[in-house]
Amino acid sequence: MKKSHLSLIIIFSLLCTFSSQAQRNRFKDLIGKSFPLDSIRSHDPVIIKQDSVYYVFSTGFGISVLSSNDMVNWTIEAPVFNQPPQWATETIPEYKGHTWAPDISYFNGQYYLYYSVSAFGKNTSCIGVATNKTLHPYDPDFEWVDHGKVIQSFPGKTNWNAIDGNLIVDEQGTPWLAFGSFWGGLQLIQLSDDGLTTAKSSDNTHTIASRRTSKDDRRENSIEAPFIYKKGDYYYLFASIDFCCRGLNSTYKIIIGRAKTVDGPYLDKDGKRLDQGGGTLLLQGDDRWAGVGHNGVAFIDGKDIIVYHGYDRNENGRSKLLIDELSWKDGWPELKNH
């Protein structure tokens, strides 16, 4: 490698490090401050309620956390991690603490937070997990315990990307992890009973959704962010298609399919399999939002609440937190207020 090329790489790396530190420092000044929903910036949110408090976790340095008593005004809490987990920086050297796509669930008597560490644009990725007895920062039992890596993907070895994890527990109480972004599509794998590793009896992932219609279809597989939600007799698979993270040029959309069993096959309204290019459109951009996607769903206060992010045309494509309620028609979800 030429010295000039090496120098550029070192300079770029240092700039990224300084930029990350500057963002962390600016964020510290916001902890404890409250903001109205329409001003909250967010990427890849999930929501849960403990007692009378709503919590939103989303992509950010150390994982961003918001709390609210009314889902209208939100307080910025300290991030989950003050420093990047050591295992993650050793496993993914490009990872500097900006942690993607958390997933929050109450399971086995405690809260499970799955999160993604990755090198952007590569499937050099891992999904990790941390647990906590409570989500209330003021509780004496509040402590995030990191359990490290759950699953890892490798360039040239795994035709899937280990990001965007989502825990789903089936009717038998067995935990599964849905995950994936681009490459071979969305995957599902069985977890160990404690949810901390993959099950020893399950070495292989199972494809549950793809934009490709066959093995010969070589187009870019623009699908990610699986979220499986059990409602009535069906498991519903939400997924985001097309492209995020491009501001005003984002084309993100949310599609949906359903299955009688957690491992599928998931079918759309027309009976087309999601692992063969199917998917019923649930939500897309409009005059206000350039693109919308990467959702989470939770049953809260007797309602099915969906959170997601959208790129605001009124603010030059900034990514904002959006919260809606789902209603159901003929066994399929739709946004109640759209």
Mean pLDDT of 302-326: 97
Per the structure block, which two tokens stand in for 249? 């040029």
Residues 17 and 59 in one domain: no
Instruction: Indicate the average pLDDT of the chain.
Output: 91
Structural domain total, the chain:
2
State mean pLDDT over 173-188. Answer: 96
Considering the domain architecture, whether residues 17 and 42 belong to the same structural domain is answered as: no
Tell me: do 72 and 167 sit in the same domain. yes
Residues 59 and 9 placed together within one structural domain of the fold: no
- pTM (2 decimals)? 0.91
What is the per-residue pLDDT for 32? Answer: 87
Residues 141 and 199 in one domain: yes
Q: Over 90: is that where the pLDDT of 7 sits? A: no
Residue 5 pLDDT more than 50?
no
Q: Note whether 8 and 80 are same-domain residues.
A: no
Interatomic CA distance for residues 30 and 15, integer angstroms: 23
Given pLDDT bands bounded at 50, 70 and 90, which one contains residue 25?
low
pLDDT number for residue 12: 34
Q: Is 227 in the same domain as 305?
A: yes
- Give 186-226 pLDDT, tens digit per residue: 999 999 999 999 997 656 799 999 999 877 777 789 999 99
Tokens linked to 256: 């949906």
Q: What does the pLDDT average to over 83-98? A: 94
Tell me: do 76 and 173 sit in the same domain: yes
**Full residue range of the structural domain in which residue 107 is found:** 34-335
Same domain? For 51 and 21 the reply is no
Task: State residue 23's pLDDT score.
Answer: 58
Give Cβ neighbours of residue 98 (< 8 Å, ≥ 6 apart).
Answer: 20, 59, 60, 61
CATH code for the domain of 290: 2.115.10.20
- The pLDDT assigned to 218 comes to 76
What 3 state SS string does 40-79 have? CECCCCEEEEECCEEEEEECEECCEEEEECCCCEEEEECC
The pLDDT, as a whole number, for residue 260 is 98
Residues designated catalytic: 44, 224
Instruction: Name the band, by pLDDT with cuts 50, 70 and 90, for residue 27.
Output: low
Residues in the chain: 338
Q: Same domain for 289 and 313?
A: yes
Per residue in 58-77, pLDDT (tens digit) is 999 999 999 999 999 999 99
- Residue 338: pLDDT over 60: yes
Both 97 and 246 in a single domain? yes
Single out the residue of 301, 294, 319, 303 nearest to residue 102, CA to CA.
294
- Given pLDDT bands bounded at 50, 70 and 90, which one contains residue 185? very high
> Based on the domain organization, do 83 and 215 belong to the same domain?
yes
